[in-house]
Amino acid sequence: MTDAPRDLSLHDEAPPRLEGQNRLRLIGICFTAFFLAIAGQVTHLTLFPKQDEGPLRPITEAPLPRPDIVDRNGVLLATDVAVASIFADPSKIIDIDEAVELLTATMPDVDAKELRRKLTTAKRFAWIKRQVSPEERDAVYNLGIPGVSYVNERRRVYPQGRLSSHVVGYVDLDTKGIAGIEKYLDDQGALYTASLAEPAEHKTQPAQMSIDIRVQAALIDEIGQAITKFKAIAGGGIVMNINTGEVLSLVSLPDFNPNQEKKNFSKDQQNRMTSGVYELGSVVKAVTFAMALDYGTATLESRYDARFPLVLGSARINDFHAQRRVLTLPEVFTNSSNIGTAKMALEVGTVRHQEFLRRVGLFQKLQTELPEAAKPLLPRRWSKLATATAAFGHGFAVQPLQGAAVVAGLLNGGHLLTPTFLRRNEEEAMAMATTVVKSSTSEVLRYLFRLNATEGSASKADVIGYRVGGKTGTAEKVVAGRYSKEKRLASFIGAFPMDNPKYLVLVMLDEPKAIPGTYGFATSGWNAVPTAGKIIERIAPMLDVEPVFTPEDLQKLAKLEEQEKKKKQN
């Protein structure tokens, strides 16, 4: 007997009353969860306020400071000041149009189109303006724009402005050294002696330079006046302690202002004293004389036939002020005879000539603390003709600072020193010096330098009482691959006091012109030499060099006073 089928629909369906209770229970659970979520969020926001609501909070951490840079007497040349920079997190900007309008109204120099581009980027960070004033910082922050705030930074400032621009150099917006001593400090890793664990008031020790800002001011003033007076396109100068190699002053004009915001400097504003190479002309004859004297192929009694041009193959070497007679060695120097100097080098010989130039460093690039340094330009083939022409500075170009350093080594007793822009004493300098000539050679060269100031082409640099000596040089410039008869580089290297020389002065003028009073001449003796005389007259008292007056000096002073009286009367 089979069972009857069951009516499952009647037994499995939940009673209506039970189904309603389940629905109410589910709705209650959902409402409870919803209100708990809201309460939790309110509690979280109350206890832990959201940081990205409204304007970003300012970032107060700033990079550790660069050391101050001071001159040899402690005068401040470069330092850090606290500044703020405005930035944005574009992802937090609610209304870009409003933000652009408000920010450009507050900072009119901000380009609206560029700002809009930055704020529409997908990046989380964008600079709006670097290194703003405190007033701009506060004004922007008070706008309350979500996603916009500032960060504390440091700005490098140069209290002396363009006065020391080429030697001190400058940094970029992130205070990274770009040129001069600023870059040297970065390269040496000498910047951040502080650490994050040290107190915030930590101050790095200043970097003390060899530069004397008083001498620098005098040099830049006189070089600037000379450029204007002689209508030169550029100029430069160096003052160096020949016993320590310290550079007390280096000037290159045109210069630049390291404080200007956009440092897009032109090629004309480069440091010509180290980053350029020039034919210094007859200034190089001092090296040739020292070489011949030191090798013993020449003495003060030596004579050189300068009656006719020196012929080497198809080349003819002439004198600018031809004497057309036999010259003594001192006369070759004071008359700056190319013929006599070339013959002097040929007597030494090509091989030994090159050896001597290597000995004094003229075959290598001079490298100092300044990163801007150029290699010498040497003859491609060192032939007999190359020896003859290089002897008087033709076809042979070096950094002006390098030329000054070599001459300083020849005058200080024969001790070649690498120039420095940082302070060092004589004992430290001599410990690293290289002896390049005998002391007797140096003594004869000092005599010739002094003789050239009393009887030769450097007479306009002979400041009464300071026993100046020097060597002039006028070189034709290379234009389009050829030497130009119209464009010249005039230079002078001198020292004082010559009986016991302490300081060397170099003056260089690029393309000086003849003016009324120079009788149609634009050579060194008429422009660079008198400029050097004015410089020495100004800086000698600053450097504690006391004048010594001979009876002849006193007579000259009396004549000058008489001339001044007559001028006043007229």
Mean predicted lDDT score pLDDT of the chain:
88
- Residue 26 pLDDT: 62
Domain that holds residue 91: 69-208
Are 485 and 388 members of one domain? yes
Residue 335, domain member (yes or no): yes
Q: What angle do CA 354, 355, 358 make, to 5 degrees?
A: 85
Give residue 192's pLDDT: 43
If asked whether residues 284 and 185 sit together in one domain, one would say no
Domains contained in the chain, number: 2
Is the same domain home to 201 and 345? no
- The last residue of a domain, from among 208, 227, 244: 208
416-449 per-position pLDDT tens digit? 999 999 999 999 999 999 999 999 999 999 999 9
- 61 located within any domain: no
Whether residue 384 is found in the same domain as residue 506: yes
> Cβ(336)–Cβ(286) under 8 Å?
no
Which parts of the chain have pLDDT scores under 70? Answer: 1-64, 190-204
Do both 294 and 370 map to the same domain? yes
Cα–Cα distance measured from residue 474 to residue 509, given in angstroms and rounded to the nearest whole number: 10
Paired with 83 in beta bridges are 153
| 172 in the same domain as 88 | yes
What CATH number should be reported for the domain holding residue 88?
A: 3.90.1310.10
- Reported residue count of the chain is 570
**In this structure, is residue 75 part of a structural domain?**
yes
For residues 286 and 192, state if they share a domain: no
Query: Domain boundary at 208, 223, 256, which?
Result: 208
Q: Are 452 and 470 in contact (CB under 8 A)?
A: yes
Tell me whether residue 79 is in a domain.
yes
Residues 163 and 303 placed together within one structural domain of the fold: no
In 195-282, beta strands by DSSP E: 207-208, 234-241, 247-253
First to last CA, the chain: 161
Show which residues are catalytic.
Answer: 282
Q: What is the pLDDT of residue 59?
A: 60
Residue 302 domain-assigned?
Answer: yes
pLDDT of residue 35: 59
Q: Kindly give, in sequence order, each residue whose CB lies less than 8 Å from that of residue 424, ignoring residues fewer than 6 positions away.
A: 210, 244, 245, 246
Burial 156-172 (b: 16+ CB within 10 A, else e): bebebebbbbbbbbbbe
217 in any annotated domain:
no
547 domain-assigned:
yes
pLDDT value for 34:
60
Same domain membership, residue 423 and residue 308: yes
Indicate whether 403 and 491 sit together in one domain.
Answer: yes
Confidence (pLDDT) at 46: 47
Report CA-CA distances (Å) from 528 to 151, 188, 407, 452, 481.
Answer: 51, 37, 17, 15, 26
Cα dihedral value 447, 453, 458, 459, nearest 10: -170
Task: For 272-310, write each residue's pLDDT tens digit.
Answer: 999 999 999 899 999 999 999 999 999 999 999 999 999
Does residue 308 sit within a domain? Answer: yes
pLDDT at 47: 46
pTM of the model: 0.83
β-sheet bridge partners, residue 179? 170
